[in-house]
Structure 1
Amino acid sequence: MIRTEALRVFATVAECGNIRDAADRLFRTQSAISMTLKQVEDQLGAPLFESDRKHSLTDLGSFVLGVAKVLLRDHDTAIDLIKEYASGASGRLRIASVPSVAALLIPDMLASFLASRPSAEIDLVDTDSADVRKLITSGQADLGIASIGATEAGLLTTPIFEDNMKLVCRADSPLAQHTKPLAWQDLEAVPLILNETTRGIQAAEFQAIAARTKLRVRNVTSLLAMVRAGIGVTLLPGLATVGLPPPLVERPLRDESCRRQVCLLRREGRVQSPLAIAFEQHFVSAISAKAEQPGMMSIFKC
C-alpha cells in the first residue's frame, strides 16, 4: 500500500524538479527521499520519472501526480478540520441559560468568543433554571447556566457567581418609597407573584408569605407585565433587574442570605467537546472581568 506521505514526497520532487530541493522543503535527507521514491516505483512496477535527474515525468508519473495532488489536498483539509475541532475552534455547542444571563452577560462575551472561531456554531436557548436542568440531563443541551436546585442527580455543577434577590414593584408602590432595605414583614400586606427563582428562597418568613400567594408566573416577560399592571410585586435576582422598563423599580432586601447562586451545568459522565471546554473557560474569565466593572460589583460577586 502506498502511504500518503510517500505520495507527498513524490509530488514535492515533481514540483521541485530535483531531489535536493525536495529534501530541503520536507526537512529530510536526500537518501531518504530517494528511498521513498524507489519504494513507490517498486509498488507500482514502473518508473515515475524519465531519468534519475527527476525533472521529467513519465506518463504514469503525470497520472499519479494528478491523483496525488487531489488526495493530498483533501487529506490536508481533513487534518486541518480535525485540528480545528480538537482545539475548540469549530464544532456545534448547544447552550441553555437563564434569561438574565442570556440577555446581559452572554452577548458581549459570545461576540469575542466567536470572533476567533468563525466556524463554530452556537445554539442558545433562554429559559428558567428548571428547564435548563432538564435540557442538560436529557442531553438536549451541552452546557447550562442556571441556579442549582435542591437535588442535582446526574449533573455536575461549577459555581460562577451570586447575586442578591431584589424586590420589583411599580414606582408608585408604597414599597418603592422605602429608603432602607426591605424586611420580610414589609411584604406581608402586598400581593406577591412567585416565579421560578423564588423556589430557592428558604427563609421561613418568606415561606409564610409564599404560602398565601395565589399567582405564580414562570416567564420573566409575563411576570414583569403582571407587576407593571399592578397585580402584585415579585422578587428577582439582581442581574434580572438591570434595565427594568418603567414604571418598574427594584429595591434591596434586608435579608442578605436571600441570593441566587448561578452555576455552569453539564451532564455527569459525558465528556465535553473541545468547543464546550473553550466556551466554559472563556465564560468564567469574562464573568470575572465583568464583576470588577463599576456598577456590576453591587449586582453580583464571583
Structure 2
Amino acid sequence: MIKFDSIRVFTTVAHHGNLRAAAQELGRTQSALSMTLKQLETDLGGPLFETDRKRDLTDLGRFVKDVGDRMVRDHDACLATIRAYSRGEAGQLRIASVPSVAALILPELLSSFMKIHPDVRVDLMDSDSAAVRDEVASGHADIGIADNSMESSGIRSRPLFSDTLFVICKPTDILASRGEGLTWADLWRGALIVNETIRSVGSDETVALVEGSRMSARNNLSLLAMVASGAGITVLPGLATRSLPETIVALPLTGSGTTRTISLLTQRSRTASPVVSAFCRHAEATLPRIGRNLGLRLHV
C-alpha cells in the first residue's frame, strides 16, 4: 500500500535533487529517506530516479511528482483549514439579534472580530426577542443576542447588559407632560401598541395591558411610524431610542419590570463550535468598551 508520507518524501527529494537537503527539510536521516524511496519504488513496480544521485527523474518519476505535488498541496491546505477551524479562525457564524443590538453594538463588535478572524463568514439576522430565541432553539442560529426573561430550558443564557425601558409617544401626548416617573399604570391613559418588549416583562400589570390592547407590531420602524401618526403609544428599551425622530419622545419608566437584560444565547444541547466559542470570548472582552460608550449597565 502506498503511504502518503512516502509521496511527501519523494516530492521533497525530487524538488531538491538530493537526499541531504531533503533530509534537512523533513527532519529525517538520509538513510531513512532512502529506505522510504526504495519501498515506494517497490510498491509502484518501477524506478523513480535514473541514478542513485536522485537528480534525474524517470518517466514514472515525473508523473508521480506532478500528481504528488498536487496531493501534498491539497493535503497541507486541508490540514491548515482544519487547524484554523479548530482554533475558531474559520467557519460560519449565524447570529440572530434584536434590532437595537444589531444596529448599535454588533457593527463594531463584528468588525473587530472579523479583522482577527478573516476566514470566518457571518450571517446576521435581526428580529424580536421571541424570534431570536426560536432561531437558537431550532438550531437555525448559532448565537442569539436578545432578552431572555422568558427563559427556555433548551437555551443557555449569559447576561451581557441591562437598559431602562421607555414610553414612546408624541410630544403632545398627555404622558409627555408628566415627564419623569412614569409607571406601567400610566400606560392605561393611551392606546397601547404592544410589542415583544412589553410581552417579555410578563408581570400582572403588563399581561393586563397586553390583553387590553387592540394593536400590536413586531418591527420597530412600524412601531415608531404608528406612534408618530398618533395611532398610540408603545414601549422600547433605551438602546432602541438613540435616534428617534423629532415627532416622538422617549420617557423613562420606573418601578418593577422596567429594565430589560440582553443575554448571549446558545443552544444548551449542542457543544459550541470553535468559531462560536471564539466569538463569545471576543464579545465578553470587547463589550465593556462598547457598553461604556453607550452608557449600558454591563454584566460582563
Which TM-score applies when normalising by structure 2? 0.91
Equivalent position SS for 2:55: coil
Q: Which residue of structure 2 lines up, in the alignment, with residue 75 of structure 1?
A: 75
Match for 2:129: what amino acid?
S
Match for 2:153: what amino acid?
A
- Superposed CA offset, 1:84-128 (max 9, x none): 222222222222111111111111211222223333222211111
Deviation at 1:257, TM superposition (A): 4.5
Partners of 1:300 and 1:126 in 2: how far apart? 22
Q: How is 1:100-249 mapped onto 2 (pairs within 5 angstroms)?
A: 100-249=100-249
Equivalent position SS for 1:246: coil
% identity of equivalent residues: 44
Equivalent position SS for 1:125: strand
Partners of 2:255 and 2:5 in 1: how far apart? 69
Equivalent position SS for 1:292: helix
Match for 1:234: what amino acid?
T
Q: Which residue of structure 2 lines up, in the alignment, with residue 49 of structure 1?
A: 49
Q: Is residue 239–residue 300 contact of structure 1 (8 Å, CA) maintained in 2? A: no
Partners of 1:208 and 1:135 in 2: how far apart? 28
The two structures, once aligned, show a CA RMSD in angstroms of 2.1
Match for 1:91: what amino acid?
G
- Superposed CA offset, 1:219-238 (max 9, x none): 21111111111122211111
Q: Is residue 164–residue 256 contact of structure 1 (8 Å, CA) maintained in 2? A: no
Runs (4 or more) in structure 1 with deviation over 6 Å come to none
Match for 2:244: what amino acid?
L
Q: Which residue of structure 2 lines up, in the alignment, with residue 301 of structure 1?
A: 298
**Aligned pairs, how many?**
299
Deviation at 1:5, TM superposition (A): 1.8
Q: Is residue 8–residue 68 contact of structure 2 (8 Å, CA) maintained in 1? A: yes
Partners of 1:282 and 1:173 in 2: how far apart? 43
Deviation at 1:259, TM superposition (A): 0.9
Deviation at 1:239, TM superposition (A): 0.8
Equivalent position SS for 1:75: helix
Q: 1:71 to 1:203 in 2, by over 3 A?
A: closer
Q: 1:8 to 1:169 in 2, by over 3 A?
A: same
Q: Which residue of structure 1 lines up, in the alignment, with residue 279 of structure 2?
A: 279
Deviation at 1:149, TM superposition (A): 4.3
- Superposed CA offset, 1:123-148 (max 9, x none): 21111111111222222222211111
Q: Which residue of structure 2 lines up, in the alignment, with residue 6 of structure 1?
A: 6
Match for 1:23: what amino acid?
A
Partners of 1:188 and 1:16 in 2: how far apart? 85
Q: 1:56 to 1:215 in 2, by over 3 A?
A: same
Partners of 1:4 and 1:105 in 2: how far apart? 48
Gaps of 5+ in 2: none
Which TM-score applies when normalising by structure 1? 0.90
Q: Is residue 161–residue 263 contact of structure 1 (8 Å, CA) maintained in 2? A: yes
Q: Which is further off, 254-263 or 181-190?
A: 181-190
Partners of 1:98 and 1:51 in 2: how far apart? 70
Q: Which residue of structure 2 lines up, in the alignment, with residue 63 of structure 1?
A: 63
Q: 1:211 to 1:11 in 2, by over 3 A?
A: closer
Q: Which residue of structure 1 lines up, in the alignment, with residue 99 of structure 2?
A: 99
Q: Which residue of structure 2 lines up, in the alignment, with residue 260 of structure 1?
A: 260
Deviation at 1:197, TM superposition (A): 0.9
Q: Is residue 199–residue 210 contact of structure 2 (8 Å, CA) maintained in 1? A: no
- Superposed CA offset, 1:8-28 (max 9, x none): 111111111111111111122
Partners of 1:101 and 1:175 in 2: how far apart? 27
